[in-house]
Amino acid sequence: MANVAVIGAQWGDEGKGKVVDWLASRADIVVRFQGGHNAGHTLVVGNQTYKLSLLPSGLVRGKLGIIGNGVVVDPEALLAEIARVRTQGLSVTPETLRLADNATLILPLHSAIDRARETARGDRKIGTTGRGIGPAYEDKVGRRAIRVCDLAEPETLSEKLDELLLHHNTLLAGLGAETFEKQALLDDLLRLAPQILPYAEPVWERLDEARRAGRRILFEGAQAVMLDNDHGTYPFVTSSNTVAATAASGSGIGPSAIGFVLGIAKAYTTRVGSGPFPTELHDATGQLLGERGREFGTVTGRKRRCGWFDACMVRQAVKTGGIHGLVLTKLDVLDGLPELNICVGYQVGGETLRHLPAGQRAQAAATPIYETMQGWSGTSGGARSWAELPAQAIKYVRRIEELVEAPITVVSTGPERDDTIMVRDPFED
């Protein structure tokens, strides 16, 4: 029996919500370990659709949810999300949700500086959500962050706000944006404290006890490997590390406890926001993929860019992300296309590469080298066994498996939880 970490193997939005929900039904604890409320998971359970940003997906299945120290937490957003899912019938209490007491808080000044910077970039925007995630992580590594535990210490809050405002108000004024008053921020934090602190604890201790007791732990990543701050398409990335190694540091558990790393990839490729996208389609096929796949961001509602499956990018994510097996989602979206292209390499400045280069201009210049495969005329939608898949769909899956150099352990063929073909159970590894 292995604990499982789930991470995206592309640029996010790969359908992790459904997969995590499917796995959470057999886990005891589900842990979010990085990111903030800039990421989202959509879970379809019966006639209910849950859109989660900060809350671990396991709460939908009645499992203990933990928000780890690697997550940056907007307390207002967290409380609003709790209130919203409660109206859908979910029980979210300090008995079902725990929050790392050493997690960093996102304040209104973080989102203000985020938006002001993005406006100042003009045409060179990175494509952030404007929700303050990046600035909050900056404060964390700059050793001036306000953390959950500080809510219990009004004097600490007051002292830390002095330092925060010295830094951020200077930047905001320089960008021509409105600055913040200390007392208003302090009053807001003290108002929120009694609502947030009942959820807080040293979650690393609870996780250690659970591991020793043999309980199944599912680590739920946000975003994806190619948005990793080190290994992604920098600077068009998120502000945290998204690889599986972060599941350990972002929750306070030893790396040996992670177990099986499950990567999630769509049967094609999508991306939200700016940045390089070698296989992007600007034609009718790209439009068709977006319409069939309902490609709009869970958090922002932004339309996703769509393109062919990029095997080189996913192979890179497998290597840097520590992925042991892949889930291939949305295979049904490709039904009926006469031909399918898979990127098997790039041309960059006369050189042929099997990986995206690190340089920003080189990434932008990467031209895909395609391998073309025949499409399938039957439907893969709702298939729950290999026998129900068209033969050419199976060939497509097997070819992807060869190119990315990782086994495909699960194939998803529709939005419902049971529209799933399991080849190998990650928890039984």
151 lies in the same domain as 209: no
177 lies in the same domain as 192: yes
Quickly state the pLDDT bin for 300 (edges 50, 70, 90).
low
331 lies in the same domain as 414: yes
42 lies in the same domain as 132: no
* Across 161-172, average pLDDT: 94
Domain-ending residue, one of 164, 196, 228: 196
The answer to whether residue 298 scores a pLDDT higher than 70 is no
* Across 347-376, average pLDDT: 94
- β-pairing verdict for 408-412 and 269-271: unpaired
- β-pairing verdict for 305-307 and 269-271: antiparallel
Q: CA 360, CA 287: separation in Å to the nearest integer?
A: 27
Quickly state the pLDDT bin for 294 (edges 50, 70, 90).
confident
User: The CATH number of the domain where 137 resides is what?
Assistant: 1.10.300.10
The answer to whether residue 366 scores a pLDDT higher than 70 is yes
Tens digits of residue pLDDT in 28-79? 999 999 999 977 777 777 778 888 889 998 898 889 999 999 999 999 999 9
Active site residues: 13, 41
Mapped onto helix, strand or coil, the DSSP state of residue 212 is helix
191 lies in the same domain as 208: no
Residue whose token pair is 């190694």: 245
pLDDT reported for residue 144: 95
The answer to whether residue 331 scores a pLDDT higher than 60 is yes
117 lies in the same domain as 145: yes
274 lies in the same domain as 412: yes
Domain-ending residue, one of 175, 196, 217: 196
277 lies in the same domain as 147: no
Residue whose token pair is 């990315």: 404
321 lies in the same domain as 413: yes
178 lies in the same domain as 302: no
Higher per-residue confidence, 148 vs 294 = 148
Residue 36: name the closest of 134, 126, 109 by CA: 134
The answer to whether residue 1 scores a pLDDT higher than 70 is no
H helix intervals, 181-279:
182-196, 203-212, 245-249
90-94, 143-147, 346-350, 423-427, range with the lowest pLDDT = 423-427
Q: CA 185, CA 128: separation in Å to the nearest integer?
A: 24
pLDDT reported for residue 414: 86
Domain-ending residue, one of 152, 168, 196: 196
Query: Contact at 8 Å (CB) between 335 and 416?
Result: no
371 lies in the same domain as 307: yes
80 lies in the same domain as 143: no
Residue 90: name the closest of 39, 35, 52 by CA: 52
**Which uninterrupted H or E stretch holds 19?**
helix 16-24
Tens digits of residue pLDDT in 149-163? 999 999 999 999 999
The answer to whether residue 228 scores a pLDDT higher than 80 is yes
**Which uninterrupted H or E stretch holds 402?**
helix 391-404
- Residue % of the chain over a pLDDT of 70: 98
Instruction: Give the domain extent around 152.
Output: 104-196
Overall number of domains in the chain: 3
Query: Contact at 8 Å (CB) between 396 and 413?
Result: no
User: The CATH number of the domain where 298 resides is what?
Assistant: 3.90.170.10
